[in-house]
Chain A
Amino acid sequence: MSIEILKAGIADSIQDTGRYGYQFQGINPAGVMDPLAAMVANFLVGNPAGEAVIEFHFPAAVLQFDKTMIGALSGADFSASIHGIDIPLNTPFLITKGDILQFTHLQNGACCYLALRGGLAIEPWLNSKSTNAAAAMGGWCGRFLKKGDVLPVQDTTDYAEAISHSKEKTLPWKLYLKDFYRTNQPVRLLSGHEWELLTEESKLKLLKSAFTISAQSNRMAYRLQGGRLQTINPVSMLSSAVTKGTLQLLPNGQLALLMAEHQTTGGYPRIAHVISADVPVLAQSGPLSSIHFTLVSQQTATQAFKKQQDALYSMQKGCDLQLNRWLINFSL
Chain B
Amino acid sequence: MKLSNQFPYSLYQLGDHAVTIELGFTMDETTHEKVMQVFQYLQLQKTPEIRDIIPAYASVSIVFDLYKLMLDYPELTENPMMERVNDLLAGFVPSDLVRGTLKRIPVCYDLSLALDMEAMASQKKMFISDLVELHLSVIYKVYMIGFIPGFAYMGKVPDLLVTPRKAEPRRRVEAGSIGIAGAQTGIYPLACPGGWNIIGRTPLQMFDANRQKPVLLEPGDRVQFEPVSLKDFNLLNHRI
User: Is there contact, CB below 8 Å, between A265 and B54?
Assistant: yes
Q: Are A265 and B52 in contact (CB under 8 A)?
A: no
In the complex with contacts A134-B190, A134-B192, A243-B14, A302-B57 CB distance below 8 A: no
* Least CB distance, B208 to chain A, in whole angstroms: 10
B16–A239 touching, CB < 8 Å: no
Task: Give the contact stretch, choosing among A18-26, A67-75, A105-113, A145-153.
Answer: A18-26
Q: Complex Cα distance A275/B55, Å?
A: 23
A238 lies within 8 A of B145 (CB): no
User: Do B144 and A265 have beta carbons less than 8 Å apart?
Assistant: yes
Contact of B227 with A by CB under 8 A: no
A193 with B12: CB separation less than 8 A: yes
CB nearest to A22 among chain B residues = B52
| Cα of A110 to Cα of B14 in the assembled complex, Å | 26
Instruction: State the CA gap A13–B123 with chains docked (Å).
Output: 45
Q: A243 CA to B17 CA in the complex, in Å?
A: 9
Q: Is the CB of B147 within 8 A of A265?
A: yes
A314 interface residue (CB < 8 Å to B): no
Whether, in the assembled complex, B194 has its beta carbon less than 8 Å from a beta carbon of chain A, the answer is: no
- CB neighbours of A173 from chain B (8 A): none
Instruction: A273 to B61: give the CA distance in the assembly, Å.
Output: 15
Instruction: Identify which of B17, B189, B190 contacts A276 (C-beta below 8 A).
Output: B17
Number of B residues, CB within 8 Å of A: 50
Instruction: For the complex, give the distance between the alpha carbons of A274 and B15 in Å.
Output: 7
For residue B60, give the distance in angstroms from its CB to the closest CB of chain A: 8
Residues of A within 8 A of B66 (CB): 276, 302, 305
Q: Which of B94-102, B114-122, B211-219 is near enough to bind chain A?
A: B211-219
Q: Digit string of A297-332 for contact with B (CB within 8 Å is 1, else 0)?
A: 011011001100100000000000000000000000
Instruction: Report Cα–Cα, A51/B20, bound state, in Å.
Output: 30
Per the bound structure, the CA–CA distance linking A264 and B51 in Å amounts to: 13
With A132-B149, A135-B209, A241-B56 in contact, do A27 and B16 touch (Cβ < 8 Å)? no
Contacts of B207 in A (CB 8 A): 135
Instruction: Tell me if B148 counts as interface (CB < 8 A to partner A).
Output: yes
A275 adjacent to B16 (CB under 8 Å): yes
Q: Closest Cβ of chain B: how far from A270's Cβ, in Å? A: 7
Contacts of B173 in A (CB 8 A): none
Residues of A within 8 A of B148 (CB): 26, 28, 134-135, 263
CB neighbours (8 Å) of B145 from chain A are 24-26
Q: Do residues B58 and A240 form an inter-chain contact, with CB atoms below 8 A?
A: yes
A261-307 contacts to B (CB < 8 Å): 263-266, 270, 273-276, 298-299, 301-302, 305-306
- Cβ-defined contact, B51 with A25, below 8 A: no
Shortest Cβ distance from residue B39 to the other chain A in the assembled complex, whole angstroms? 8
B162 contacts the other chain (CB 8 A): no
Q: Residues 190-220 of chain A: 1 if any B CB is under 8 Å from the residue's CB, otherwise 0?
A: 1011000000000000000000000000000
Contact B15 A23 (CB under 8 A): no
Cα–Cα, bound, A135→B209 (Å) = 7
Q: How far is the CA of A244 from the CA of B66 in the complex (A)?
A: 13
How many residue pairs link A and B with beta carbons under 8 A? The number is 153
Q: Does A136 contact B (CB under 8 A)?
A: yes
Chain B residue nearest to A305 in the complex (CB): B66
* Of the residues A135, A239, A243, A305, contact of B57 by C-beta under 8 Å: A239
State whether B12 touches A25 (Cβ < 8 A): no
B 69-111 contacts with A by CB, 8 A:
70, 78-82
Q: Which of A24, A244, A276 contacts B55 (CB 8 A)?
A: A24
Whether A240 contacts B214 by the Cβ 8 Å rule is: no
Q: Is the CB of B67 within 8 A of A305?
A: yes
Would you give the shortest CB distance from A263 to chain B, in whole angstroms? 5
**Neighbouring B residues of A24 by C-beta, 8 Å:** 39, 52-55, 145, 218-219
Contacts of B13 in A (CB 8 A): 190, 193, 273, 298
Contact A263/B70 with A26-B215, A241-B54 known, Cβ cut-off 8 Å: no
B14 adjacent to A241 (CB under 8 Å): yes
B5 contacts A by Cβ under 8 Å = no
A135, A239, A243, A276: the one contacting B214 at CB < 8 Å is: A135
B15 touches A264 (CB 8 A): no
Check B79–A25 contact: CB distance below 8 A. no
| Chain A hits for B53, CB < 8 A | 24
Contacting pair B54 A273 (CB below 8 A):
no
Evaluate contact between A298 and B16: CB separation under 8 angstroms: yes
Q: Is A242 an interface residue (CB 8 A)?
A: yes
CA distance A255 to B52 in the complex (A): 25
CA distance A245 to B153 in the complex (A): 24
Say which residue of B65, B67, B82, B218 sits within 8 Å of A25 (CB atoms): B218
Q: How many whole Å from B47's CB to the nearest CB in chain A?
A: 13
Name B's A-contacting residues (CB within 8 A).
12-18, 20, 25-27, 39, 51-59, 61, 63, 65-67, 70, 78-82, 144-151, 153, 189-190, 192, 207, 209, 214-215, 218-219
> Can you list 9 pairs linking A and B with CB atoms under 8 Å apart?
A20-B52, A24-B55, A27-B215, A28-B149, A240-B59, A243-B15, A273-B16, A274-B15, A276-B15
Ranked 4 nearest A-B pairs via Cβ: A273-B15, A265-B146, A241-B61, A20-B51
A residues whose Cβ falls under 8 Å from a Cβ of B: 20-29, 125-126, 132, 134-137, 142, 190, 192-193, 238-246, 263-266, 270, 273-276, 298-299, 301-302, 305-306, 309
Taking A243-B18, A265-B54, A265-B144 as known contacts, 14 extra A-B pairs with beta carbons closer than 8 A to each other, sorted by chain A number, are: A24-B39, A24-B219, A26-B146, A27-B149, A238-B58, A239-B153, A240-B54, A240-B56, A241-B146, A243-B14, A246-B14, A273-B14, A302-B16, A306-B67
